[in-house]
């Protein structure tokens, strides 16, 4: 098949899988097939709709149980979860935090909210997560330890405090070598697990490998609370402080409003938590359906020359949050032709995020060479991935 025919062939496969479209087939839609209405109605009937209530406590317990973490703290969105996680990990103004350049902007924004500096690193072409091997070579060149044993950037003089790996499209990155790197360089590991609820690395749930992990339950995630997020940790003191900071740092009292530090109004409302509890009840089915959708994509695209479908890494189990086609030869013109023709045909597709180092607010941030990031920007196309597609 001629590469010039690739956009038409992709459209033909999508039409064969899902039919010709009169309207747009969304990239990802939520599925409501359980107790969502009953639980939300209970909140309304009992008037517990805001920042406290039994569903918040239940959702936190069930998130902890689901991930295997000792504690979970529900918050208003995944960005808030990342922000507070970084603060609790000790990130301070002027620190540098290593993050992938190829990520959603929330990762970099959360670093900036701390007054810290995102320091961009490259990714693996296999997992689209951080490449620990490339990072090791880079850190060997730029890091020195000060008199107190703190790792510092030789060029900027700033302390390098933390690493934030992100599990792209729900596929776990290779965590073992990254954790070894963190030990060697005394770096705090805070996982951006926003996309990976239900995904495991060597049998262990993502988000539980560092001191803290952050999840998102936005409307396009594998489960949704409308808007919402969660911090998970195995550290009782960190969990207690996370709850305190995200509830405006208010000291418990029957009637007095006393706050002992600057806190954040990051509380998840009971109404949202009720939706989340119902969604969690069907998470296993959601993962099974999304994996089945991914298998259908593999069947249809595995023999197509010129591209590959992203699949779960070895020793991992992915939730397949978003399916991704990856061009063998990165080509922004071809990528854009595919995007235009698929969207014109009624199939919502999108490119991967614009890398963070190319955004105006981060263009002067420190970074290592980013050859794989730049290639993947020109090669990745997300295709419709809703759980409900299993019924098409």
Q: Are 113 and 123 in contact (CB under 8 A)?
A: no
| Residue 185: Cβ within 10 Å count | 17
CB 81 within 8 A of CB 230: yes
- Compute the mean pLDDT over every residue in the chain, rounded to the nearest whole number: 97
CA dist., res. 289 & res. 319, Å (int): 9
CA dist 352 and 168 (Å) reads 10
Map residue 361 onto helix, strand or coil. coil
Give the burial string for 269-302 (b: 16+ CB within 10 Å, else e): bbbbbbbbbbbbbbbeebbebbbebbeebeebbe
Find all residues with CB under 8 Å of 148, minimum gap 6, and list them. none
- Beta-sheet pairing, 96-100 with 117-121: parallel
CB of 298 within 8 A of CB of 309? yes
Burial string for 355-384 (b: 16+ CB within 10 Å, else e) reads bbbeeeebeebbbbebebbbbbbbbbbbbb
Q: Give me the numbers of helices (H) and strands (E) for the chain, helices first please.
A: 12, 16
Per DSSP, the residues of 212-256 read: EEEEE--TTSSS--SS-EEEEES-HHHHHHHHHHHBTTBPP-SS-
Structure tokens at 208: 């539980």
Distance from C-alpha of 366 to C-alpha of 364, rounded to nearest angstrom: 7
Task: Give long-range contacts, CB 8 A cutoff, 24+ apart: 324-328.
Answer: 324/128, 324/169, 324/352, 324/380, 324/381, 324/382, 324/383, 325/10, 325/301, 325/380, 325/381, 325/382, 325/383, 326/376, 326/379, 326/380, 326/381, 327/378, 327/379, 327/380, 327/381
CATH level 3 topology of 3-26+283-391:
3.90.1150
Instruction: Classify domain 36-281 by CATH architecture.
Output: 3-Layer(aba) Sandwich (3.40)
| Number of CB atoms found within 10 A of residue 70's CB | 14
Residues of the chain with pLDDT under 50: none
CA distance 272 to 277: 9
Q: Which among 240, 230, 322, 214 has a CA at the least distance from the CA of 280?
A: 230
Gap between the Cα atoms of 314 and 202, Å rounded = 9
Q: Which two tokens stand for residue 256?
A: 């007095």
Compute the distance between CA of residue 106 and CA of residue 210 in angstroms, rounded to an integer.
19
Token pair 């805070």 is found at 190
- Between 332-344 and 6-18, two packed helices, what is the crossing angle to 10 degrees? 30
| Domain residue limits, the chain | 3-26+283-391, 36-281
Rounded Cα distance between 56 and 34, Å, is 18
Q: What CA–CA distance (Å, rounded) separates 171 from 322?
A: 9
What's the pLDDT score for residue 2? 62
Distance CA 68, CA 213 (A): 12
What is the structure's pLDDT at 23? 83
Enter the pTM of the model.
0.97
- Give the Cα separation of 379 and 375 in Å (integer): 6
CA–CA gap between residue 390 and residue 392 (Å, rounded): 6
Distance (Å, rounded) from C-alpha 72 to C-alpha 234?
Answer: 9
State the pairing for strand pair 316-317/350-351.
Answer: unpaired
CA distances from 71 to 6, 149, 220, 237 (A): 48, 31, 25, 10
């Amino acid at each position: 098949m001629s590469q010039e025919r690739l956009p038409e062939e992709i459209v033909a496969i999508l039409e064969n899988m899902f039919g010709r479209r009169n309207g747009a087939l969304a990239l990802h839609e939520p599925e409501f097939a359980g107790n969502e209405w009953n639980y939300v109605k209970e909140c309304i009937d009992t008037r517990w709709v805001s920042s406290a209530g039994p569903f918040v406590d239940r959702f936190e317990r069930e998130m902890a149980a689901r991930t295997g973490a000792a504690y979970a703290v529900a918050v208003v969105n995944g960005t808030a979860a990342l922000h507070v996680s970084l603060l609790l990990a000790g990130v301070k103004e002027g620190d540098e935090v290593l993050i992938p350049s190829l990520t959603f902007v929330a990762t970099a924004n959360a670093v900036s909210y701390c007054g810290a500096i995102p320091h961009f690193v490259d990714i693996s072409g296999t997992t689209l997560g951080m490449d620990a091997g490339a990072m090791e070579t880079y850190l060997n060149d730029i890091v020195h330890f000060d008199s107190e044993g703190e790792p510092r950037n030789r060029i900027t003089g700033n302390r390098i405090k933390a690493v934030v790996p992100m599990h792209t499209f729900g596929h776990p990155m290779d965590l073992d070598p990254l954790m070894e790197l963190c030990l060697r360089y005394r770096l705090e590991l805070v996982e951006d697990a926003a996309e990976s609820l239900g995904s495991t690395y060597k049998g262990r749930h993502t988000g539980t490998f560092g001191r803290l992990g952050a999840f998102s339950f936005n409307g396009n995630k594998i489960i949704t609370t409308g808007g919402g997020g969660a911090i998970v940790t195995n550290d009782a003191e960190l969990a207690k402080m996370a709850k305190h900071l995200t509830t405006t740092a208010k000291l418990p009292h029957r009637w007095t409003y006393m706050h002992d530090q600057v806190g954040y109004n990051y509380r998840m409302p009971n109404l949202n938590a009720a939706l989340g509890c119902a969604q969690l009840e069907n998470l296993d089915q959601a993962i099974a359906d999304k994996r089945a959708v991914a298998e259908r994509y593999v069947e249809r695209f595995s023999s197509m020359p010129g591209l590959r479908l992203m699949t779960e890494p070895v020793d991992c189990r992915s939730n397949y949050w978003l399916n991704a086609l990856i061009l063998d030869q990165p080509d922004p013109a071809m990528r854009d032709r595919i995007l235009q023709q698929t969207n014109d045909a009624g199939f919502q597709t999108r490119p991967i995020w614009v890398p963070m180092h190319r955004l105006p607010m981060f263009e002067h941030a420190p970074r290592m060479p980013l050859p794989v990031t730049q290639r993947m920007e020109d090669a990745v196309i997300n295709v419709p991935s809703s759980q409900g597609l299993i019924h098409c």
